[in-house]
Structure 1
Amino acid sequence: MSPNSNLRTPNTGGTGHLQPAAARPHRGLRLLPLAPLLAVVAMSGCTTVGPNFKTPPAPAVASYTRAPLPAGTASAPGSMGGAQRFGATQTVAPDWWRQFGSARLDDLVQQALRNSPTLAAAEATLRQAQQTYAAQAGSTLYPTVNGKLGVSRNAFSSSSFGQNSGSTNIFNLYNASVAVNYNLDLFGGNRRALEALAAQADYQSFQLAGARLTLAANVAVTAFNQAQLGAQIEATEAILKAQESQLDIAHKRFALGAAARTDVLTLQTQVEQTRASLPPLRNKQEQANHLLAVLIGQAPGAADIPRFTLTDFALPSNLPLVVPSDLVRQRPDIQASTALLHAATAQYGVAVSNLYPQINLSASLGTQALTTSALFGPGSIVWNLAGQLAQPLFNAGLKAGANAAQASLQAAGANYQQTVLQALRNVADALRALDNDAQTLQAQAAADASAQESLKLVAQQYQLGAASYLQLLTAQQQAQQTRIGLIAAQGQRLADSAALYQAMGGGVLNTHGTSPVAPMATAQ
Structure 2
Amino acid sequence: MSVWFGFCSKTRSSPAPTVCRRSSLMLFFLLSACMVGPDFKRPELSPEAKFTRNDPGATVSADIQGGASQNFSTQRDLPGEWWELFESKALNTYVSLAVANSPTIAQAEANLRQAQENAYVAGAGLYPTVTGNASRNRQKFPIGGGGASEIVANLNPFFTTYSLSLAISYTLDVWGGTRRNIESQVANIQYSQFQVEAAHLTLTSNLLNAVILEASLRGQIRATEEIIKVQQRQLAILQAQFRLGGVDESQVLQQLATLEQTKATLPPLQQQLVVQKNQIKTLGGFYPTQDIVKEFDLSDLKLPRKLPLSLPSELVARRPDIRSAEAQLWQASANIGVALANQLPSFKITGNAGNDSEVFNRLFFSGTGAWQITTSVAQTVFDAGALNSQRKAAVAAFESSAANYREVVLTAFGDTSNAISALKNDARALKASLAAERSARKSLRLTQQQYNLGAIDLTTLLLAVQTYQQAKINLVQAQAVRFTDTVALFFALGGGWWNRPNAAPIRDGRPLTIISAVPPFNRKQIQPVNQP
TM-score (norm 2): 0.83
Query: What's the CA shift for 1:343?
Result: 0.7
**Counterpart of 1:181 in 2: which secondary structure?**
strand
Equivalent residue letter for 2:245: G
Query: What's the CA shift for 1:109?
Result: 0.8
1:250 aligns with 2:238: yes
Equivalent residue letter for 1:148: N
Structure 2 unmatched ranges of 5 or more = 6-22, 517-532
Out of 69, 72, 77, the residue aligned to residue 83 of structure 1 is 69
Residues 449-470 of structure 1, C-alpha deviations (whole Å, 9 max, x = no match): 323444566788899x798998
The answer to whether the 8 A contact 2:108-2:195 is kept is: yes
CA spacing shift, 1:478–1:506, aligned 2, 3 Å: same
**Counterpart of 2:37 in 1: which secondary structure?**
coil
The answer to whether the 8 A contact 2:355-2:363 is kept is: yes
1:54 aligns with 2:41: yes
1:130 aligns with 2:116: yes
What is the match of residue 441 of structure 1? 430
Query: What's the CA shift for 1:237?
Result: 0.6
**Counterpart of 1:151 in 2: which secondary structure?**
strand
Query: What's the CA shift for 1:214?
Result: 0.9
**Counterpart of 1:424 in 2: which secondary structure?**
helix
CA spacing shift, 1:191–1:351, aligned 2, 3 Å: same
Query: What's the CA shift for 1:165?
Result: 5.7
The answer to whether the 8 A contact 2:440-2:471 is kept is: yes
Query: What's the CA shift for 1:387?
Result: 1.2
1:149 aligns with 2:140: no
CA spacing shift, 1:164–1:338, aligned 2, 3 Å: closer
**Counterpart of 2:173 in 1: which secondary structure?**
coil
Query: What's the CA shift for 1:443?
Result: 0.5
Structure-2 separation of matches of 1:308 and 1:93: 23
What is the match of residue 310 of structure 2? 322
Single out whichever of 54-63 and 188-197 deviates more from structure 2.
54-63
The answer to whether the 8 A contact 2:80-2:499 is kept is: no
Out of 99, 105, 111, the residue aligned to residue 113 of structure 1 is 99
CA spacing shift, 1:46–1:482, aligned 2, 3 Å: closer
Query: What's the CA shift for 1:415?
Result: 0.5
Structure-2 separation of matches of 1:379 and 1:207: 60
Out of 509, 512, 516, the residue aligned to residue 498 of structure 2 is 509
Equivalent residue letter for 2:44: P
The answer to whether the 8 A contact 1:89-1:323 is kept is: no
What is the match of residue 520 of structure 1? 514
1:397 aligns with 2:386: yes
What is the match of residue 365 of structure 1? 353
Equivalent residue letter for 1:514: P
Query: What's the CA shift for 1:317?
Result: 0.8
Residue correspondence of structure 1 range 13-412 to structure 2 within 5 A: 46-61=33-48, 63-65=50-52, 67-89=53-75, 91-138=77-124, 140-156=125-141, 168=153, 170-395=158-383, 396-412=385-401
Query: What's the CA shift for 1:477?
Result: 6.5
Structure 1 unmatched ranges of 5 or more = 4-15, 17-37
The answer to whether the 8 A contact 1:329-1:513 is kept is: no
Residues 167-205 of structure 1, C-alpha deviations (whole Å, 9 max, x = no match): 645421111112221111211111111111111111011
**Counterpart of 1:322 in 2: which secondary structure?**
coil
Single out whichever of 480-489 and 122-131 deviates more from structure 2.
480-489
Equivalent residue letter for 1:270: T
The answer to whether the 8 A contact 2:141-2:150 is kept is: no
Query: What's the CA shift for 1:476?
Result: 6.7
The answer to whether the 8 A contact 1:332-1:509 is kept is: no
The answer to whether the 8 A contact 1:199-1:340 is kept is: yes
CA spacing shift, 1:156–1:443, aligned 2, 3 Å: same
The answer to whether the 8 A contact 2:142-2:150 is kept is: no
CA spacing shift, 1:485–1:325, aligned 2, 3 Å: same
**Counterpart of 2:137 in 1: which secondary structure?**
strand
Equivalent residue letter for 2:346: Q
The answer to whether the 8 A contact 1:335-1:513 is kept is: no
Structure-1 separation of matches of 2:76 and 2:295: 35
Structure-2 separation of matches of 1:521 and 1:476: 72
Out of 407, 421, 429, the residue aligned to residue 418 of structure 1 is 407
Structure-1 separation of matches of 2:2 and 2:69: 60
Query: What's the CA shift for 1:362?
Result: 1.4
Query: What's the CA shift for 1:434?
Result: 0.7
Residues 82-117 of structure 1, C-alpha deviations (whole Å, 9 max, x = no match): 111111147421111111111111111111111111
Single out whichever of 473-482 and 317-326 deviates more from structure 2.
473-482
Structure-1 separation of matches of 2:325 and 2:473: 42
Single out whichever of 507-516 and 170-179 deviates more from structure 2.
507-516
Query: What's the CA shift for 1:160?
Result: 10
**Counterpart of 2:121 in 1: which secondary structure?**
helix
The answer to whether the 8 A contact 1:355-1:398 is kept is: yes
Structure-2 separation of matches of 1:95 and 1:218: 14
CA spacing shift, 1:56–1:285, aligned 2, 3 Å: same
The answer to whether the 8 A contact 2:176-2:341 is kept is: yes
Structure-1 separation of matches of 2:70 and 2:390: 54
CA spacing shift, 1:473–1:312, aligned 2, 3 Å: farther
Structure-2 separation of matches of 1:480 and 1:342: 56
TM-score (norm 1): 0.85
**Counterpart of 1:47 in 2: which secondary structure?**
coil
CA spacing shift, 1:392–1:477, aligned 2, 3 Å: closer
**Count of residues in correspondence between the two structures:** 484
The answer to whether the 8 A contact 1:199-1:521 is kept is: no
Equivalent residue letter for 1:348: I
CA spacing shift, 1:350–1:164, aligned 2, 3 Å: closer
Equivalent residue letter for 1:264: V
The answer to whether the 8 A contact 1:59-1:325 is kept is: no
CA spacing shift, 1:459–1:247, aligned 2, 3 Å: closer
What is the match of residue 14 of structure 2? none
Query: What's the CA shift for 1:250?
Result: 2.5
CA spacing shift, 1:2–1:472, aligned 2, 3 Å: farther
The answer to whether the 8 A contact 1:73-1:85 is kept is: yes
CA spacing shift, 1:146–1:428, aligned 2, 3 Å: same
**Counterpart of 1:202 in 2: which secondary structure?**
helix
The answer to whether the 8 A contact 2:56-2:420 is kept is: no
The answer to whether the 8 A contact 1:61-1:324 is kept is: no
Structure-1 separation of matches of 2:489 and 2:414: 12
The answer to whether the 8 A contact 1:88-1:323 is kept is: yes
Structure-2 separation of matches of 1:178 and 1:458: 100
